[in-house]
Structure 1
Amino acid sequence: MSAAYEFDDDPVTETVSTVAPELEDETEAAAERPLYFPNAEQWVQNWLLPHYRRKLSSGRRWDPEWWRYEEVGTILEALWESWEQMRWEDAMTAVAWYRDYFWPVMDRLTAEDGPFWDYDPPRSTDVPPLWEATPAPNGWF
């Protein structure tokens, strides 16, 4: 066997970083970038709604209690977190964020068949029921 392939049986005793040096810089930079909004609710109220104004009609729905919908809460929290990262970048990143994330997500959430499809006060203000699901057989997954 070649000397290049021989391994030392002694364990490593020095501390080894599991993060690449360029990622350590990014981690430090992220720590120095405080959040502008403390949570998704504040972001929705103070940034999202003022920046996304559309005519509400039979083709577009919005529930002021958006946080009651698991899907909406989850996606808007992710959108807020992506916004918090994007705001530190350049103008091209902001334009791409609007194009690739903000407009498509908001158009989908408020679409006629989106999560608010049944929101039609005073007829209905309830969150639609969950679809039924049958548990998978043992060992299926």
Structure 2
Amino acid sequence: MFGTNLLDRRSRTERIADQAWDHLVAAVNSAGETVRDTALDTAKTARSATAGLTDDARDRVGTVADEAWQRASLAFDALAGRRPGLPWGYLIGAGLIGAAIGWAAGTAARTAMARDNAALGSSDQVEFVDVDRPGSAAAN
């Protein structure tokens, strides 16, 4: 009875304001759930659509970060007065390539000379003759 007397003592305007507030709270809660569900669906769609783009961006950023780290390390070494090491891998590689080219050229030259000698035949061989020169020890 006590509670009903309190409600009866409120004015009509207060009761309408309370009802309006209750409706507003219910509408906001309902809209919040709808917006939250819609936002989650949109976020899931956006995430799946941009997954490939983020992978590409991560790869690029990783490559750029690695290069920046290497350059910073080289700059620090230069400021500290340390000389960069020789690129032994490139030097050894160049030496091996040079040896392979030299071997191929030598083999090709020997093969060409063998063909020329075979084409000339045995009758066209050059004959060396010893000639006595005047005034030499053999001429006396």
**TM-score, reference length from structure 1:** 0.20
Structure number, greater radius of gyration: 2
Quick check: which one's helix share is greater? Answer: 2
**TM-score, reference length from structure 2:** 0.20
Higher relative contact order, chain-length normalized (CA < 8 Å, sep 6+):
1
